Homo-oligomer: A and B are copies of this chain.
Amino acid sequence: MAESTRIAVDAMGGDGGLAVILDGAARAAADRPDLSFLLVGDEAAIRAALESHPALGPRVEIVHAPETVGSDEKPSTAIRRARVTSMGLTIDAVKQGRAGAAVSAGNTGALMAMAKLSLRTIPGIDRPALAALLPSLGDNDTVMLDLGANTECDARNLVQFAVMGAAYARTALDLDRPRVALLNIGTEDLKGTDIIRDAAQRLRSASHLPMAFTGFIEGDRLSRGQVDVIACDGFSGNIALKTAEGTARFVADLLRRAFSSSIRSKIGFLISRPATQLLRDHLDPNNHNGAIFLGLNGLVVKSHGGANAIGIANALKLAAKLVDDDLTRRIGEDLGNIEARAA
């Protein structure tokens, strides 16, 4: 690739601070020699931190932002400071065309509100949806959306989520024709609410789009790798995602408790450590990092707040991939196709 792919990075967002963000950027830069960054935040602090990353220097431009968004700050307050905060100016760089995508590990609600206000939604989309990648037993991760941006949805919203999720899966997971399902409390046609049944009906007739609608999926099959995209309203999606995270942690806690219950089991644990390490890697959120707001006129990727340098690098590489594949255009085309068919 002759031209450089440039990502705007909120250098001040996230629990690990500037040091972790720069470590992550350096890792991503090493993997992708065509990447360059617009680092947004306190200029003096960034310059000082860059001294530990001499290889990064030539590929970085700094945008000074005097303030940061607090991790507990209300979106309504954050919005008013968009022009002086690292998060606001990171998004603005995408709006101004200075970067192909924005990446922040900061306050999710504030990021969503600012991104929506600044970039606006694609025509026909009321509110952007938040999509993330979940680990699965299959060959690839599973895209799930919406994860909390839209607590109440109608059938048209759910169809749009499915279409946007499929476009995202084609890019992020390199799939030609992602398998798409609606989250429901049973797999029979009659299960669930009128809204979900209506959405299923509409998706069944969307066979002209590059996706395969497979019907309903229940909560106990989310991680089986049987579908590539799971669409749902933001309320159930948030409940499902957090329940999955909480249960994985719960089982890990029980396992830790079990392994430390006797000398014998402690020895067994030490011997089988490479195996449990494999498990840990598979479940590590850093290896699935990068949620994305879909439906905006521009790419905004949200990193886990607690991501380490590997996690940040993954979020940056994901953003770069979405820029290269022109995800925003793809989504617009697919949405146009399904609306045209419905009309």
Instruction: Output the nearest chain B residue to A223 by Cβ-Cβ distance.
Output: B250
A275 interface neighbour in B193, B241, B258, Cβ under 8 Å:
B258
- Within the complex, which residue of B236, B243, B248 is in contact with A251, where a contact is CB–CB below 8 Å? B248
Q: B137, B243, B250: which contacts A250 (Cβ < 8 A)? A: B137
Which has the most chain B C-beta neighbours within 10 Å: A136, A223, A239, A279? Answer: A239
A70 to B338 CA separation, bound complex (whole angstroms): 41
Integer count of this chain's copies in the complex: 2
User: Separation in Å of the A280 CB from the closest CB of chain B?
Assistant: 9
Q: Which of A55-99 contact B (CB under 8 A)?
A: none
Q: Given A248-B247, A265-B272, A271-B265, answer yes or no on A258-B238 (Cβ-Cβ < 8 Å).
A: no
Query: Is A209 interfacial (CB 8 A cutoff)?
Result: no
Interface residues of A (CB under 8 A from B): 136-137, 148, 151-152, 183, 185, 192-193, 218-224, 234-236, 238-255, 257-259, 261-262, 264-265, 267-276, 278-279, 282-283
Q: List 23 A-B contacts (CB under 8 A).
A: A151-B193, A219-B245, A220-B243, A220-B246, A222-B246, A236-B239, A239-B240, A239-B243, A243-B244, A244-B246, A251-B279, A254-B282, A258-B276, A261-B278, A262-B275, A265-B271, A265-B272, A265-B275, A267-B271, A268-B268, A268-B270, A268-B273, A272-B272
The chain B residue sitting closest to A241, CB to CB, is B219
Partner of A234, one of B185, B220, B259: B185
CB of A109 to closest CB in B, whole Å: 9
Cβ B274 vs Cβ A262 within 8 A: yes
Q: Which residues of the other chain, B, contact A137 by a CB distance below 8 angstroms?
A: 250, 253-254
Contacts of A250 in B (CB 8 A): 136-137, 223-224, 248
A275 touches B259 (CB 8 A): yes
